[in-house]
């Protein structure tokens, strides 16, 4: 590293603000929010932690089900389990490699029932409280359809857009369409 990068890193090391606090983190949060055209961006220690936090804020409770896709990095399912819930896997779309809205609709139509405005899985009796589609390899999923379907069933949408920074759907950034969106700066992601 050299130039400004070296100066910024030295400043962080000297102030011991190298994780989720400090002037640089606040600037990053503001820049990300502006770039994604969202009201707020909040830095956490990891993408997995951000997914977990998003599920908790959405009201996911112990023993709930969270719909997601089987073709993803393990962090997606781990975040669901960290929230005390269980993943309910629904198939992916061939063209986007993300959650398939048609499969989601079939699953919800045939395997769930609504009770007092909450969606419950018929066989297990568990509440389905959230849906976590993944923007696989940065390909935007069919989010508008997924969001519309989830709204009909009162299911919150948390976008796992860890790989989606810079990708857009109808001029909207991955991670900005659902109730919550999570991007990542892990070493294997687009920026890093």
Q: Which CATH class is domain 47-182?
A: alpha beta
In angstroms, the Cα distances linking 94 to 46, 86, 132, 142, 153 are 29, 25, 18, 11, 24
pLDDT higher than threshold 90 for residue 154: yes
pLDDT higher than threshold 90 for residue 99: yes
Residue-range domain boundaries for the chain: 1-43, 47-182
Distance CA 48, CA 184 (A): 9
Phi, psi of 119 (to 5 degrees): -95, 130
* Stretch 102-131: mean pLDDT: 98
pLDDT higher than threshold 70 for residue 66: yes
């Amino acid at each position: 590293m050299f130039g400004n990068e070296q100066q910024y890193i030295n400043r962080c090391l000297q102030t011991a603000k190298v994780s989720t606090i400090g002037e640089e983190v606040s600037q990053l949060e503001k820049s990300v929010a502006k770039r994604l055209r969202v009201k707020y961006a909040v830095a956490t220690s990891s993408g997995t932690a951000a997914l977990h936090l998003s599920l908790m804020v959405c009201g996911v409770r112990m023993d709930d089900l969270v719909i997601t896709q089987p073709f993803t990095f393990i962090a997606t399912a781990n975040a669901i389990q960290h929230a005390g819930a269980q993943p309910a896997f629904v198939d992916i779309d061939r063209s986007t490699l993300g959650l398939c809205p048609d499969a989601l609709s079939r699953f919800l139509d045939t395997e769930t029932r609504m009770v007092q405005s909450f969606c419950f899985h018929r066989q297990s009796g568990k509440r389905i409280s959230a849906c976590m589609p993944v923007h696989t390899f940065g390909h935007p999923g069919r989010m508008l359809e997924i969001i519309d379907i989830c709204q009909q069933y009162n299911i919150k949408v948390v976008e796992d857009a860890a790989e989606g920074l810079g990708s857009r759907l109808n001029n909207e950034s991955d991670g900005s369409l659902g109730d919550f969106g999570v991007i990542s700066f892990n070493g294997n992601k687009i920026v890093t």
